[in-house]
Structure 1
Amino acid sequence: MRKIAFFVEGQTEASFIQKLLEEIVNEKYISIIITTYSRGGRSGTPRSGVIESEKIVSDEKYIANICISGTDNRVNSDISDNLQTLKDSGFELIVGLRDLRGDLHGHPATLADLPKMENANKQIFKGKLPNVHIVIAVMEIETWFIGETNHYLNIDPRLTPDLITGSVACIGINPYIDDLTLIMKPAETLHNIYSLVNKNYSKKIRERTINALDFANVYLGLPSKIGKIKELIDILDAFLI
């Protein structure tokens, strides 16, 4: 049995990772535990994790712990704080998933900051065991949702390719052909796409979008369109397959 841990910003990322794992590995063979961390920082109270959900299978070949840090700036520190415990518990790989959006040294992070952030992450965890990989979803994980164009019809049958491509002036991008990594506010853009049929997108109703995604396409199709998806898939393939 092999063990892998994920540290993510929020519930949206946790739900996405769970569905992706179940696509790559037959869900009969992977147990998934989702834990939410809280407190710490200015509160003066030590960080602690509470198990939100457990999906345990009898024929498990893999165990995945998905840890929700609550904010991007806690992902790295939560990994560091739990590294030894995870090692002692037999975990072989840790994957951090975080957004690029947010403040960086007093200014909003942009694509120009990505190489510096990636290099800093490598230096922080260089030589650490278990191995740590930090994947930065440019600019937010919603970029990936926008790129999974099969899901739009699952949101609403009226949300057709013709409607979307004919509304580029309103939504600002063509999700079928444009470079989606250039979208500065992906969650807002996804909301604008849904608004074409009077639907909306928000973090509070994220499960509708997660459940609508074609995860076979996320796994097989999106890596050729979005480099960061490919980075994540390559890491998972090397470990799980």
Structure 2
Amino acid sequence: MKKSLVIIPTYDEKENIEGIIRAVFELKAEFDVLVVDDNSPDGTASIVKTLQKEFDKLHLMEREGKAGLGTAYIAGFHFALDHGYEYIFEMDADFSHNPQDLVRLRTACENGADLSIGSRYISGVNVVNWPMDRVLMSYCASIYVQFITGIPIKDTTAGFKCYTRKVLETIGPDNVHFVGYAFQIEMKFLAWKYGFKITEVPIIFTDRTKGQSKMSRGIFKEAVFGVIQMKVKSLFKKYIPAQ
């Protein structure tokens, strides 16, 4: 059976981490979990270490400090490639992504997709508990990215995804430049430019009820201006599709 790894970056997620780990391991389908913790002051990593005594497919990577969402996932991608995983997932720790949807994302890849995206906008606007200004900011950001890049994806900033191994090997984790939420856009853009088949799977996104959001104006600014930079650079690069 082809192995699956769910990568969960954490920073101060003690209120959510045990619940999300248990929810993944309670699924009938089999998934391994890698928590990438950026030295959370609240003791998130200690909770994971305790749970490792119960779950032998739970892995922990501890980093020295807060270094950005993108670098956390890149570290996780290296772990996945080094340990022979075929399906590699990105998922938040705060239950904004329903763990049960992991099965649907993997099924999409098993049925021919190279990258499947848990999409908030492929069938309307499926967001729960977000204030209207945040919904509009997110939705308009996706339209903006589509306009600048031409990428045929409705939810370009989505952070709930399943990659096949081939996508990560082709892109090369160290060739991704952004560290904040623009990282999510860049990964989709590169997968598209390399000719991979991308499928959007409709999900319902529910805002966190515990802990604090990590979104900031700086992260949003990186995404806005980073998209233009990314598009301009792509004009001078040749992308050879994977065979």
Which TM class, normalised by the smaller chain length? 0.3 to 0.5
* TM-score of the pair, normalised by structure 1: 0.34
The structure carrying a bigger helix percent of its residues is 1
